[in-house]
Amino acid sequence: MGKIVVSENVSLDGVIQDPAGDEGFRLGGWVGLIKNSPQLNKLALDEALGAEALLLGRRSYEWFAARWPSRGGELADRLNSLPKYVVSSTLRDPDWNNSTVLKGDAVDEVSKLKQQLKGEIVVPASFQLVRTLIERDLVDEVRLKLFPVVLGDGERLFGETSDKKAMHLVHTQTVADGIVFLTYESG
């Protein structure tokens, strides 16, 4: 059975909106350039190398697909070669190679995907999809790169849930510039 792994960049106050700064959010760009941080770049590469597939919502898929196919290097090569599954009712013909659109009910489609795959299914960004997966107890692990900034505004990672969702801290790592990498398992 596959393992759903949520991977997010998050501010101290839980904001995930526009970390790269190219979506027009007035406070966007709060992560800086990951390529300028060897430690963050290594985290991203290690995660990609450990993944069997990526799972994305449509907007996140379009963001990644507009950037990664034209890039080179080990991380780009890995992301471009990985199977990508996109939860969307509107996307028809994905351009990024190895991409499959999951068109049915998101929960049913992701449940089937977990049964079909054996390794890590990494969900980068895609906060709306993440909220649905957490609500339906489909997330096995949450990896947060916690950036030392308080934005005070913006879309937060976690939304309302029908019940509490227990998570257990299994790993911490301090990264460059006060960034902390936290890994939680569900349950």
Q: Give the pLDDT confidence of 55-113 residue by residue, as tens digits.
A: 999 999 999 999 999 999 999 999 999 999 999 999 999 999 999 999 989 999 999 99
For residue range 123-174, what is the model confidence (pLDDT) as tens digits? Answer: 999 999 999 999 999 999 999 999 999 999 999 999 888 889 999 999 999 9
- Average pLDDT, integer, range 2-25: 95
Among 117, 119, 112, 48, CA closest to 80: 48
The answer, yes or no, to whether residue 46 has pLDDT greater than 80, is: yes
Q: Per-residue DSSP letters for 118-176?
A: -SEEEEES-HHHHHHHHHTT---EEEEEEES---SSS-BS----SS---EEEEEEEE-G
Q: pLDDT value at position 96?
A: 97
* CATH code for the structural domain at 3-186: 3.40.430.10
pLDDT at residue 33, rounded to an integer? 67
Lowest mean pLDDT among 1-10, 34-43, 47-56, 114-123: 34-43
What local confidence, expressed as pLDDT, does residue 35 receive? Answer: 67
| Burial (CB count <10 Å: 0-12, 13-18, 19+), residue 73 | exposed
Higher pLDDT, 116 or 36: 116
Cα dist from 101 to 90, 98, 146, whole Å? 9, 10, 30
Read off the tokens for 57.
């919502």
Determine the distance from the C-alpha atom of residue 142 to the mean position of all C-alpha atoms in its chain, rounded to a whole number. Answer: 9
Would strands 3-11 and 180-186 be described as parallel, antiparallel, or unpaired?
A: unpaired
On the question of pLDDT at 34 being above 90, the answer is no
- Yes or no: say if 125 and 16 are a contact pair by the CB < 8 Å rule: yes
Confidence of residue 22 (pLDDT cuts 50, 70, 90): confident
The verdict on pTM exceeding 0.85 is: yes
pLDDT at 159: 85
Is residue 151 within 8 Å of 14, Cβ to Cβ? no
Q: Domain residue spans in the chain? A: 3-186
